[in-house]
Amino acid sequence: MSKRIDVKDLNVYYGNFLAVEDVNINIQAKSVTAFIGPSGCGKSTFLRTLNRMHEVLPGARVEGEVLLDGDNLYGPGVDPVTVRTQVGMVFQRPNPFPTMSIRDNVLAGVKLNNKKISKGAADALVEKSLVGANLWNEVKDRLDKPGSGLSGGQQQRLCIARAIAVEPQVILMDEPCSALDPISTLAVEDLINELKDQYTVVIVTHNMQQAARVSDKTAFFNIAGTGKPGKLIEFADTTSIFNNPSQKATEDYVSGRFG
Amino acid sequence: MTTNSLTTSHGAGRAGDKVFSGAAMAAGCLILAVLFGVALFLVVQAIPALTAPAADIQGGHGFFAYIAPIVVGTLIAAVIALVIATPVAIGVALFISHYAPRRLAAGLGYVVDLLAAIPSVVYGAWGAAFLAKEISPAYDWLATYLGWIPIFEGPASATGKTILTAGIVLSVMVLPIITSLSREIFLQTPKLHEEAALALGATRWEMIKMAVLPFGRPGIISAIMLGLGRALGETMAVALVLSSGVLTASLIQSGNQTIAAEIALNFPEASGLKVNTLIAAGLVLFVITLGVNMIARWIITRHKEFSGAN
């Protein structure tokens, strides 16, 4: 499990507006890659192109290639539904399904496409996914209670459990800790460190310390100004991005001189 | 002497507060008073009919024997209307909120709302003069091939003025109510939950089953209950369409009657105890509607924990 991602000459549009321009990036399997940059620079937009969630918005489209171990996500005949089972996603705000129990939330993705699963296998999968998301001990006695009754940090880990239950190749995280308190953030960061043993993890974050703590490689995105497209400025090992960036813009950003 | 500087307040702001809370409270009380007044009127006027000797009531077998068939007729007409209208309305609402291109959705929503603007007497005229005639061959077919089911027992009414036709007309009338409420509910589904489903690899329909319908469930129930209220109380359309008669199991023969139509057709010429009987029938309708709404509330609160409101 876990595949690499290679992006070639990707342009991302909202209607006629070019939001992200000409991205080329190679993301290693079983690593954590962080996207950093000022608000509106297109890092979340770009992240959403990696599992074809971008096109959910009306008028949104892309040009270019995203290769998952060599297979183009945007090739002819590719079903976005299939793509999303391979590339899971965790969102900015925890979004467990409020009408489902904790158990059903974990199984939500597994039960899709009319797949049948025996009760024993389902129980095992629920435990494995919740253990994988460091949540098992906190919820094992109330699996039938609604997921919305958990704290924010627990909800976010439930969402991660839900994402890993379908055994994706890649997990995308869009600012997963921005709505969480520091303790919950720490729990999620620890989890990200464990996830990279099995999955390719890509995380968007506004928190540079977080990028420095959790990622192996960091990509810095920037925009020239309002209405201009976002661009990938620099992509390198996290240590060199934070200690020895090759671009002036990166250095200004990570040293806090702007943004 | 020391004075507490916090005791002074902005007089104008406080006055506005008081006026508003008073007005809101008065409006709330007015509703209760009107409801109570109507209920009181119904009860007081109904008592003579409820206590009169059985032989004096129309039909000669007491109030219960008089009201029971038309209560059943009312329920049959309302159930037919909901069985037809609910799936169509939810389908149309989903199409408008999640499938149709934006421009088509706006146009379609407008057209559905227009259905609600047609007066009920127009629906009645349409049902009696057009639909009944056009649909009677279908009733013949039902009587011939499905006649062994009691509700389709022949011979079918030659005019088509049956309880089924009335139910169909009612379904068109309640359709816009259920559709527009459901549509509003579906549009309010949090994007967050829709995206959660899609990101797990759900197809559009699976996303709707996972995120939209569970979220909208209490709203859909409320919408259906509002539709049911309209179907139970609708008078003109039923009075014009239905060729009424005694309670019959077959939906495609003439016969049956609803409470509202019974009152409307008989009230103008009624006098004495007959008036009290009709008002008592109105009281029964009032109680049925109240009961339906209470059941709806109960269904909605039963799943509160999982409602998404917390």
> If pLDDT is split at 50, 70 and 90, which confidence band does A243 have?
very high
The predicted-structure confidence for B83-125, as pLDDT tens digits, reads as follows 999 999 999 999 999 998 888 988 998 898 898 899 999 999 9
**Mind listing the pLDDT tens digit for each residue in B188-237?**
999 999 999 999 999 999 999 999 998 898 889 889 998 998 899 888 88
The fold of the B52-306 domain, in CATH, is MetI-like fold (1.10.3720)
Please report the DSSP string for A129-189 in residue order: HHHHTT-HHHHTT-TTSBGGGS-HHHHHHHHHHHHHHT--SEEEEESTTTTS-HHHHHHHH
> Up-side HSE of residue A59: CA atoms within 13 Å toward CB?
8
Cβ atoms within 10 Å, residue B266: 15
C-alpha A124: how far from its chain's center? 25
Q: pLDDT band for B310, please (50, 70, 90 cuts).
A: very low
Comparing CB atoms, the residue among A51, A85, A97 nearest residue B196 is A97
CB contacts of B215 in chain A (<8 Å) are 98-99
Which residues on A lie below 8 Å from B200 (Cβ)? 84-85, 88, 108-109, 112, 162-163, 166
Question: In the predicted model, what is the mean pLDDT of residues A108-120?
Answer: 84
Contact B193 A109 (CB under 8 A): no
Beta strand A217-223 pairing with A230-237: antiparallel
Q: Which two tokens stand for residue A231?
A: 């661009």
Which of the residues B200, B203, B217, B304 would you substitute to probe the A interface, choosing the one with the greatest number of A C-beta atoms within 10 Å?
A: B200
Q: A29 and chain B: CB distance < 8 Å anywhere?
A: no
What is residue B80's predicted lDDT score, i.e. its pLDDT? Answer: 94
**pLDDT of B307 higher than 60:** no
Enumerate the residues of chain A whose CB falls inside 8 A of the CB of residue B310. 98, 146, 148-149
- Of residues A58, A84, A148, nearest to B310 (C-beta): A148
For B174-198, write each residue's pLDDT tens digit. Answer: 999 999 999 999 999 999 999 999 9
User: Residues of B with CB below 8 A from A101's CB?
Assistant: 306
Tens-digit pLDDT profile for residues A198-226: 999 999 998 899 999 999 999 999 988 88
Name residues whose C-beta falls within 8 Å of residue B288's C-beta, 6 or more positions apart in sequence: B71, B74, B75, B232
Domain boundaries, chain B: 52-306
Q: What is the pLDDT of residues B22-68, one digit of tens each?
A: 999 999 999 999 999 999 999 999 999 888 888 888 878 888 889 99
A53:B192 CB<8 A: no
Rg over CA atoms, chain B? 25
Asked if ipTM goes beyond 0.85, one says: yes
**What is the pLDDT, as a whole number, of residue B218?**
87
The torsion region of residue A26 among left (phi > 0), alpha (psi -120 to 50) and beta comes to: beta
- Measured distance CA(A204)–CA(A89) in Å, rounded: 11
Phi, psi of B253 (to 5 degrees): -105, 160
Are B67 and B279 contacting, i.e. CB atoms less than 8 angstroms apart? Answer: no
Is the pLDDT at B9 greater than 70, yes or no?
A: no
A136 touches chain B (CB under 8 A): no
Q: Is the pLDDT of residue B171 over 70?
A: yes
In the predicted model, what is the mean pLDDT of residues B6-25?
A: 80
> % helix / strand / coil in chain A, to the nearest 5?
35, 25, 35
Q: Residues A54-71: what's their mean pLDDT?
A: 91
Do B86 and B78 touch, CB atoms closer than 8 A?
no
For residues B274 and B261, what is the distance between their CA atoms, to the nearest angstrom?
15
d(CA A21, CA A224): 12
Name the residue facing B308 among A51, A84, A99 (closest C-beta): A99
Q: Are B91 and B186 in contact (CB under 8 A)?
A: no
Cβ distance A163 to B199 less than 8 Å, yes or no, reads yes
C-alpha–C-alpha distance, residues A8 and A67, integer Å: 8
A101: closest CA of chain B, how far (Å): 8
Helical segments of B146-250, H only: 163-187, 191-199, 204-207, 213-233, 236-241
Nearest to B9 by CA among A148, B17, A94, B1: B17
- Higher confidence at residue B1 or residue A118? A118
